[in-house]
Structure 1
Amino acid sequence: MRSSHSRNSISILVLAVSIGMMLASHVSAQRPNFLVIIADDLGYSDVGCYGSEIATPNLDGLAAGGLKFTQFYNTARCWPTRSALLTGYYPQQIRRDGMPGAPSGFGGSGKRPAWAQTIADYLRPAGYRSYHSGKWHVDGKPTDNGFDLSDEATRSHGFFDSIKREDRDPDFYRTTATADHAIECLQQHAAEFADQPFFQYVAFHAPHFPLHALPEDIERYRDRYVDGWDALREERHKRQQALGITSAELSKLEEDVGPPYAFPDQIALLGPGEINRPLPWGKLTQQQQRFQATKMAIHAAMIDRMDQEIGRIVEQLRSMSAFEDTLILFLSDNGASAEMMVRGEGHDPSAAPGSAATYLCLGPGFSSAANTPFRRHKTWVHEGGISTPLIAHWPKRISARNELRWTIGHVIDIAPTILDFAGVEPASSSVPAMIGKSLAPVLLKGDVALNDEIWFYHEGNRALRQGDWKIVHGNVARDFPWGRSKAAANETDQAEWSLYDLSTDRAEQNDVASDHPEIVAAMQSRWLELRDQFLRDSASALLPSTD
């Protein structure tokens, strides 16, 4: 027979366990949900609340109910940005982008070290369910990196089902399919895991090339852009100034800067309406003007449809009573693209522009308009290639409504922000520390000094921002397709740098390097110092896992 002491001990233990479970349930209930939405090749000015004429009422509504960041950065390219966003590290630290002095096998095809976990990896032990919908473009599979469900919504190289499939689905459209999967994940979560918080990562392919859109969406913009990219840039810039988004002057078009990679044979397939330089609109033939205006109409239609699908996802959050306590973040993986090529299933010039049988790219003219007011495009580390909108919305915690944030931030800050709000500690001191910082004080309180410096490198293009000073060195064009050329990989560390004061010249129009050689020298030295640090960090990928 058990003693009363034993019975009391068991009773106390049962009570403690019960209380512990209740507390754990309470803590879980207090942990917010997270919805991160990333667009592909979206320009800084491509959303209505950042100066666009494109209809984006759902994103505009999120911004009106929350915050818009004016100085947020990505890495200038898709896969480095996605790796940085999901891990909190610069991609060069984790072997996901190239760098001078790096060993072979480094870069876009590199495998992350075991310690470079994703947000989903960190959140799983904390009781979160994680879902991925859309583009991945990170090493490994999503379901091997913390995500419970994943669907890339891929049927072809474009946005429609493959024209070569006998059982082709005429109703498939990738942007809609991505939203469908995200909604299905949320519906299943509400039905089966309502007692757990969630992390939903929605990575739209839009508006990345090929320019594919639904006919009814294209029709809304068909004649909107016949006045050309010069007029559109002026229009967007005036709207940005009225919104308070920027005080920067409008950058001058660089008529000698075309696509970052030369594919002249492929561009020739597109016909006489194509042009690979941002010449003044008046210098184009009528055929070229019509062709270019049609391409921009398709680009706009893709963004319009993405916004519609975001609205459906947000409505799902409302229907499951999760909208109020979900931190929603929206951004782009790089600036709008000047790339021009024909890939996938080729281009049929007789097919309707924007249809499955076509393969069109935006090109440098309207890409410059999409990146208003900044200079250059995706792959470059000038402001046009690395600046992104960032919209933050969270009714339960963000008290600000329709406010701007001028704090300098970077995609490496997304992971530590989410982990901070989830109450999850990042990796231990035995691995390189996340350079990214939590945006929590900026979201909850207001502008604060967060990032002392931000480092950039992609395919020979390099930059460093320290406060309002920015040094940048970038190639004008490269003749090599895909990946770094030998020349770019071994580019001299003594390359000429430009220096800009972004407090007065964020459009990077006035190089003051000759006026401040000591600042250039110090910042160049620091760029190299960080480069060496990241190489050391990445070398740990060759060591046994620290898990």
Structure 2
Amino acid sequence: MRSFLLIGFLLTLLSAHAADRPNIILIMADDMGYSDLGCFGSEISTPNLDALAKGGVRFTQFYNTARCCPTRAALLTGLYPHQAGIGHMMDDKGLPGYRGELSRDSVTIAEVLKPAGYRTYMAGKWHVTKKVNPQDADAKANWPLQRGFDRFYGTIHGAGSYFDPNTLTRDNEFISPFADAQYQPKSFYYTDAIADHATRFVADHARDHQAQPFFMYVAMTAPHWPMHAKPEDIAKYKGKYDAGYDAIRAARVEKMKKLGLLPPSWQVAPQAGGAWSEVKNREFETRCMEVFAAMIDSMDQSIGRLVAELKKQGQYDNTLILFFQDNGGCAEGMGRNGPFKPRAEKPTLPAMAATDLQPDMIPKQTRDGHPMRQGYGILPGGADTYHGYGEAWANVSNTPFREYKHWVHEGGISTPLVAHWPKGIPAARHDSLEPQPAHLIDLMATCLDVAGASYPAEHAGLKIKPVEGVSLRPALKGESIGRQEPIFFEHEGNRAVRDGIWKLVAKGPQGAWELYNMEADRTEQHNLAANEPERLKAMAAQWEIWAKRAQVIPWIWGLPHGDPLPNKKGKKGKKKA
């Protein structure tokens, strides 16, 4: 009898402890710029995210890695992406930092939180394995369920149609959205599907695992190309962008100043990507941004449904929600070149069966047999189109900064971070701006901190690399996060160091170092390299030491000082540009 009482007492303690620990939801958008949220300066309607910001904290100097796969690796592991094996994309370059697979000497947040009593869920884009069409038995070793998640719905690949995504997966099995008995909406749209499954996970958790807290990673693909949106969302933005790039950008600048996000002393980076007065087809250009805005609007609506479910289940107050983006606005010219192809009145190809899996990132056809169309002037939005929104609109998204996705100037690596947690953020901090620099590597440490979990020295019999980041929990209360080390970057030879108010940055493997005072000039308009040669030298040395430690060097782009690097066979190879 005494043993039963003791067990009951321990279970009560565990249950009480679980009730104190928050649920954690990480929501990441894809290919959005710094100013694309309403609460960060945009004209796009994002009332749900704006409400989370008003009731929480906005980090104004939060950083990603400038690209999708490395960001996901850093987010999941709390390591720099090269340490997790994904310094570039999903191909194996024969170097430890560039294997294209999430490394086994790293652990995911899910793998760390499960032993601490958390249930773990994921919905959305995975994109940290090259094995997207597995044939052999161990090909799914780096899929979500094998990296700590209890349930998964989403895509293993990095991009695809919103109306018919490739590699769509539930748990460990590919599924067709048109033959999915578990999810049959009136019409399939991937952003809705991600959010609907995230919402379902919350409801199911409340029903089946109420005694445990949960961790959920929601990886949206919106608004990454292709520019696909529902007609009713596109209609909301008809005519909204007729004034062109300069006018929209100027309006964002003014709003950012009013919000306290843009000091008047900063010189805004010049408009790039072309002049509105020289646009050949304004209907096409405005349509691109109308669809882009509609995709963000739809994502915000879906986040609103997720928040509503948290409230319904009584989980809202003790759930830490963090919203951020994987990189800056994308200037890639996807689908914008080539000849105009009018849409045929009737399908010209055989229809696909409902059970057929979509095999391609860029589908060859729609389900009903319309060929895919790309080219300048083809109005994006529908399932038979596949476009990006172009450099000039990406420059608007990244207001007030320079450069884009790929580069590590501020336009490529700056993301809003919205933190919301009613039980954990004091009311006095609501609707506040937090200027301390932070990075994706800090999210693992933050999750460990709020969950009361321990980071392992070993996992599955392997020694694990030490976590790199620091917890952001103190910043939620207005306190210092106590960062001791600079923040480092490298992608495609673009490299940077952020140390306090100073940033050292270079464009391309042969680009000269530039130095900026980020307090006075975060838009990187006044290069102080010639004025501060000793500081530049010291920070460059810091970067090189880190790069060797973090598996950046040797790297596939060639060393900054021009040394050749060994190829896979150990012979000296030519420097790669």
TM category, shorter: 0.7 to 0.9
Alignment partner, residue 410 of structure 2? 383
**Equivalent pair of 1:79/1:108 in contact (CA under 8 Å):** no
**Corresponding residue for residue 208 of structure 1:** 224
Matched, 1:344 2:373: no
Distance verdict in 2 for CA 1:115–1:109, change over 3 Å: closer
Question: Does residue 394 of the first structure (1) align with residue 418 of the second (2)?
Answer: no
Cα distance, 1:60–1:167 mapped onto 2, change above 3 Å: closer
| TM-superposed deviation, 1:40 | 0.2
> Does 2:380 match 1:353?
yes
In the superposition, relative to structure 1, how do residues 448 and 29 fare at CA in structure 2: closer, same or farther (>3 Å)? closer
Whether the 8 Å CA contact 2:127–2:156 is kept in 1: the answer is no
Match of 1:220 in 2: 236
8 A contact 1:351–1:357 mirrored in 2 = no
How far apart, in 1, do the equivalents of 2:126 and 2:290 lie?
A: 27
Match of 2:9 in 1: 19
Q: Which amino acid is the alignment partner of residue 53 of structure 2?
A: A
Give the stretch that moved more between structures: 49-58 or 105-114: 105-114
For the pair 1:280 / 2:275, whether they are aligned, the reply is yes
Q: Tell me, what secondary structure is at the counterpart of 2:83?
A: helix
| 2:343 aligned partner | none
How big is the shift at 1:251?
3.2
Change (3 A) 1:158 1:61: same
Bigger Cα displacement from structure 2, 426-435 vs 321-330: 426-435
Worse-superposed segment, 62-71 or 226-235: 226-235
2:160 maps to what in 1?
157
Shift of 1:362: 1.3
User: May I ask how many residue pairs the two structures share in their alignment?
Assistant: 485
**2:393 matched residue in structure 1:** 366
Match of 2:250 in 1: 234
Matches within 5 A, 1:296-335: 296-335=289-328
Equivalent position amino acid for 1:334 in 2? N
Q: Cα distance 1:204–1:517, how it changes in 2: closer, same or farther (>3 A)?
A: same
Aligned ranges for residues 98-497 of structure 1 at < 5 Å? Answer: 98=88, 104-106=94-96, 109-139=99-129, 140-152=142-154, 157-161=160-164, 171-247=187-263, 249-253=266-270, 255=272, 278-285=273-280, 287=281, 289-342=282-335, 344-345=362-363, 346-347=372-373, 352-399=379-426, 400-428=429-457, 431-450=464-483, 452-475=485-508, 491=509, 495-497=511-513
Q: CA deviation at 1:538?
A: 11
In structure 1, distance between residues paired with 2:208 and 2:553? 41
Q: Unmatched 5+ residue regions in structure 2?
A: 130-141, 167-175, 336-360, 364-371, 556-577
CA distance in 2, matches of 1:39, 1:501: 29
CA distance in 1 between counterparts of 2:289 and 2:276 reads 14
Cα separation, 1, equivalents of 2:278 and 2:12? 71
Cα deviations across residues 441-478 of structure 1 (Å, max 9, x unaligned)?
A: 11123455436411000001011111111111113xxx
The 1:16/1:110 distance shift into structure 2, 3 A limit, reads: same
Structure 1 unaligned runs (5+)?
1-10, 256-277, 476-490, 540-547
Map of 2:539 onto structure 1: 523
Q: Distance in 1 between matches of 2:53 and 2:24?
A: 16
1:46 to 2:72 alignment: no
Cα distance in 1 between the residues matched to 2:519 and 2:165: 48
Q: Which has the higher helix share?
A: 1
| Separation (CA, whole Å) in 2 of partners of 1:12 and 1:166 | 54
Code of the aligned partner of 1:422: A
Alpha-carbon offset, residue 365 of structure 1: 0.2
Work out the CA distance in 1 between the residues paired with 2:451 and 2:513: 41
TM-score (norm 1): 0.84
Contact 1:72 1:390 in 2 (8 A): yes
Aligned residue for 2:115, secondary structure, equals: helix
How far residue 348 of structure 1 moved from its aligned partner, in angstroms, is 5.0
Computed over aligned residues only, the root mean square deviation of the Cα atoms, in angstroms, reads 2.6
TM-score by length of 2: 0.80
Distance (whole Å) between structure 2 residues aligned to residue 90 and residue 419 of structure 1: 17
Residues 236 and 449 (structure 1), Cα distance of their counterparts in 2 relative to 1, 3 Å cut: farther
Structure 1 residue 154: deviation in Å?
A: 8.3
Distance of aligned partners of 1:300 and 1:108 in 2 relative to their CA distance in 1, 3 Å threshold:
farther
- SS at structure 2 position matched to 1:126: coil
Cα drift, residue 138 of structure 1: 1.7
Give the 3 Å change call, closer, same or farther, for CA 403–171 of structure 1 in structure 2: same
Give the superposition deviation at 1:186: 1.1
Taking only the aligned residue pairs, the percentage that are identical comes to 43
Partner of 1:545: none
Shift of 1:254: 6.4
Supply the distance in 2 between the matched residues of 1:532 and 1:340 (Cα, whole angstroms).
34
The structure-2 alpha-carbon separation of the partners of 1:312 and 1:250, relative to structure 1 and needing over 3 Å to count, comes to farther
CA deviation after TM superposition for structure 1 residue 185, in Å: 1.0
In structure 1, the residue matched to 2:369 is none
Q: Could you give the per-residue CA deviations for residues 386-428 of structure 1, whole angstroms, max 9, x where no partner exists?
A: 0000000000110121011011100000111011111011122
Instruction: Tell me the alpha carbon deviations over residues 346-399 of structure 1, each in whole angstroms, 9 at most, x when there is no partner.
Output: 425686521011111011101001011111100100000000000000001101
- Aligned-partner Cα distance in 2 for 1:92–1:108: 6
**Alpha-carbon distance in structure 1 between the residues aligned to 2:417 and 2:233:** 25
In 2, Cα distance between the equivalents of 1:233 and 1:340? 20
